[in-house]
């Protein structure tokens, strides 16, 4: 008897922190049911409209964006965008006839999940952050299940709907342990030295980049390797800054395709505190210094970082203080092997390597 053809819609995006978990969920559905049909619904002009097709999935865009904090033309058009997106999402659901709809956060997930609940389609939210976004809070009473990564989420969602699953991450991150030799060879670094990894996300992080550039000679003279992911906008400046520094010690990249090897090479990671980055760090089990971005809605990143800091699983440096203190703290941590071990052990306990599998199990429970 042939495998039943399941159909799912996955909606959301805007940043890698929403898109990559969504793709991880889609990949797990396809692993279990290769014949399953999956349709993504994103926001026109946003990152998911290119990233999702690159991963082999079809995506349809809605005309939707967020409300700006100041009065803009975009805000004046917001009600029209919501009405347009609700109509289009409703039409997509009627035509595609999904068994269930998953929302991962981001502009498009609100209209899509709301339209699905109106048509009595089973719905699941995957909330990555330690502080729920506005859209997900508004939908909490309407959806069937909410999968979360932090144990404090009962503050935002009905306890009966909560499932503690963790955030789904790329399979290769889970498999990064034990690849150090391969990683040092891949990056062309001296394996005798300890290695810092600086990651500011796909768009880069100005504070991390400026603080790191100012400390390049300090890092080199202290005898450490550096893998520095800058983002596209800052890469030209960084490339110029590392010229003349030893090539087997200091490396700058606009984007890291092999994140598994970057984590494998690292002894200490300096990172923003996006939910996906934190989930990866937990699985990579690395001592981490988190510098939350101040430019995200509802200060999510500080809340994400504090969830680790309170368990002595990471070190927090405020964005406003990073220029003065970040690399002094990082270099002191590099000398303190006992503190590194403590951070590594504590962050490892928070890792959820089977998050995607657990979320998909919950999804199929709703379908059946």
149 and 57 inside one domain = yes
40 and 162 inside one domain = yes
Q: Is 2 part of a structural domain of the chain?
A: no
Q: Is 227 part of a structural domain of the chain?
A: yes
112 and 133 inside one domain = yes
Q: Is 11 annotated as a binding residue?
A: no
Q: Is 253 part of a structural domain of the chain?
A: yes
Domain CATH for 180: 3.40.50.2000
Q: Is 277 annotated as a binding residue?
A: no
Q: Is 202 annotated as a binding residue?
A: yes
What residue numbers bound the domain in which 89 lies?
Answer: 7-167+354-367
160 and 247 inside one domain = no
162 and 184 inside one domain = no
Residue 75 φ then ψ, to 5°: -65, -40
Q: Is 69 annotated as a binding residue?
A: no
207 and 315 inside one domain = yes
Q: Is 236 annotated as a binding residue?
A: no
Q: For residue 178, what are the CA distances in angstroms to 172, 260, 285, 314?
A: 12, 10, 12, 22
Beta bridge partners of 283: none
Contact call for residues 348 and 276 (beta carbons, < 8 A):
no
- Going by C-alpha positions, the residue among 273, 356, 275 that lies closest to residue 105 is 275
125 and 64 inside one domain = yes
273 and 315 inside one domain = yes
Q: Is 338 part of a structural domain of the chain?
A: yes
Total count of domains within the chain = 2
Q: What is the pLDDT of residue 81?
A: 82
Q: For residue 259, what are the CA distances in angstroms to 224, 249, 268?
A: 20, 18, 14
245 and 303 inside one domain = yes
56 and 139 inside one domain = yes
Q: What is the pLDDT of residue 1?
A: 41
Q: Is 120 part of a structural domain of the chain?
A: yes
Token reading at 350: 């928070």
28 and 145 inside one domain = yes
Q: Is 328 part of a structural domain of the chain?
A: yes
Q: Is 129 annotated as a binding residue?
A: yes
Q: What is the pLDDT of residue 296?
A: 77
290 and 147 inside one domain = no
- Going by C-alpha positions, the residue among 228, 215, 223, 221 that lies closest to residue 187 is 228
- Going by C-alpha positions, the residue among 285, 282, 283, 304 that lies closest to residue 293 is 304
Under-50 pLDDT residues of the chain: 1
What's this model's pTM, rounded to 2 decimal places? Answer: 0.85
Q: What is the pLDDT of residue 133?
A: 81
Q: Is 90 annotated as a binding residue?
A: no
Q: What is the pLDDT of residue 288?
A: 98
Q: Is 1 part of a structural domain of the chain?
A: no
């Amino acid at each position: 008897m042939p495998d039943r053809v399941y159909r799912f819609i996955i909606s959301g995006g805007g940043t890698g922190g929403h898109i990559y978990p969504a793709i991880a969920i889609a990949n797990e559905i396809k692993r279990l049911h290769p014949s399953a049909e999956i349709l993504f619904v994103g926001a026109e002009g946003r990152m998911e409209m290119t990233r999702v097709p690159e991963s082999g999935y079809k995506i349809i865009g809605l005309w939707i964006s967020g409300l700006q904090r100041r009065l803009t033309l975009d805000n004046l058009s917001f009600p029209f965008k919501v009405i347009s997106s609700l109509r289009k999402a409703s039409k997509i659901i009627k035509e595609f006839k999904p068994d269930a709809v998953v929302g991962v956060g981001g502009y498009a997930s609100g209209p899509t999940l709301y339209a699905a609940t109106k048509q009595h389609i089973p719905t699941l939210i995957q909330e990555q952050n330690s502080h729920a976004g506005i859209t997900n809070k508004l939908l909490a009473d309407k959806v069937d299940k909410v999968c979360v990564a932090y144990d404090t989420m009962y503050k935002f969602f009905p306890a009966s709907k909560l499932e503690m699953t963790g955030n789904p991450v790329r399979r290769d991150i889970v498999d990064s342990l034990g690849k150090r030799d391969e990683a040092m060879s891949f990056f062309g670094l001296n394996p005798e030295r300890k290695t810092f990894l600086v990651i500011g996300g796909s768009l880069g992080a100005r504070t991390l980049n400026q603080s790191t550039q100012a400390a390049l000679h300090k890092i080199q003279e202290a005898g450490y390797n550096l893998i520095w992911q800058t983002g596209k906008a800052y890469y030209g400046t960084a490339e110029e800054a590392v010229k003349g520094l030893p090539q087997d010690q200091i490396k700058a990249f606009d984007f890291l395709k092999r994140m598994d090897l970057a984590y494998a090479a690292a002894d200490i990671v300096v990172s923003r505190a996006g939910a996906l980055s934190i989930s990866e760090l937990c699985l990579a089990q690395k001592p981490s210094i988190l510098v939350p971005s101040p430019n995200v809605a509802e200060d999510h990143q500080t809340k994400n970082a504090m969830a680790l800091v309170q368990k002595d699983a990471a070190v927090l440096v405020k964005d406003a203080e990073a220029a003065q203190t970040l690399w002094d703290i990082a270099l002191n941590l590099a000398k303190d092997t006992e503190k590194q071990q403590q951070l590594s052990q504590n962050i490892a306990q928070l890792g959820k390597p089977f998050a995607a599998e657990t979320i998909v199990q919950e999804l199929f429970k709703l379908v059946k």
